[in-house]
């Protein structure tokens, strides 16, 4: 089990909001959030859920509460990824945003794995 302080220093809850906005814009650009898109309504609901949960974090709280908040956001982010994977939508940039989101939650290894499933190219220069 990783040292909680090591995890804390990787967490950036305010930036997770920025990354979620980028994911939302990319999903809109790819047409994934339209009501007639396959899985679009579930994807939209999952995105809104994690955005609402991240909204209060203008600053990172103290270590304990930050890790708890990051864990709660990660659970919602996993639901978002599952909704995304239930659609045909994939892209290198979208995968990069997914990886960045999990990095902001102090879970870089999980983000690296999920990003590939969301379309990030293994040889992407951003990896």
For residues 78 and 115, give the distance between their C-alpha atoms in angstroms, rounded to a whole number. 11
Task: Give the pTM.
Answer: 0.94
* CA neighbor of 89 nearest in space, from 127, 44, 50: 44
Residues of the domain holding 72: 4-117
Please report how many Cα atoms fall inside a 13 Å half-sphere around the Cα of residue 119, on the Cβ side: 18
In a domain, 107, yes or no: yes
In a domain, 126, yes or no: no
In a domain, 127, yes or no: no
pLDDT tens figures, 75-112: 999 999 999 999 999 999 999 999 999 999 999 999 99
Count of the separate structural domains present in the chain = 1
Distance of CA 44 to the CA centre of its chain: 13
In a domain, 13, yes or no: yes
pLDDT-based confidence at residue 1 (cuts at 50, 70, 90): low
Q: What is the dihedral of CA 78, 87, 48, 121, to 10 degrees?
A: 60
Q: Is 120 helix (H, G, I), strand (E, B) or coil?
A: coil
């Amino acid at each position: 089990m990783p040292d909680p302080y090591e995890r804390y220093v990787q967490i950036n809850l305010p930036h997770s909001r920025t990354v979620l906005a980028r994911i939302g814009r990319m999903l809109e650009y790819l047409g994934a959030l339209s009501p007639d898109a396959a899985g679009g309504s579930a994807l939209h609901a999952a995105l809104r859920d994690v955005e609402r949960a991240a909204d209060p974090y203008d600053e990172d709280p103290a270590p304990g509460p930050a890790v708890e908040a990051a864990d709660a956001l990660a659970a919602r982010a996993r639901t978002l990824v599952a909704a995304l994977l239930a659609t045909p939508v994939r892209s290198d940039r979208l995968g990069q945003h997914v990886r960045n989101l999990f990095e902001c939650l102090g879970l870089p290894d999980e983000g690296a794995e999920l990003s590939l499933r969301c379309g990030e190219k293994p040889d992407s220069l951003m990896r």
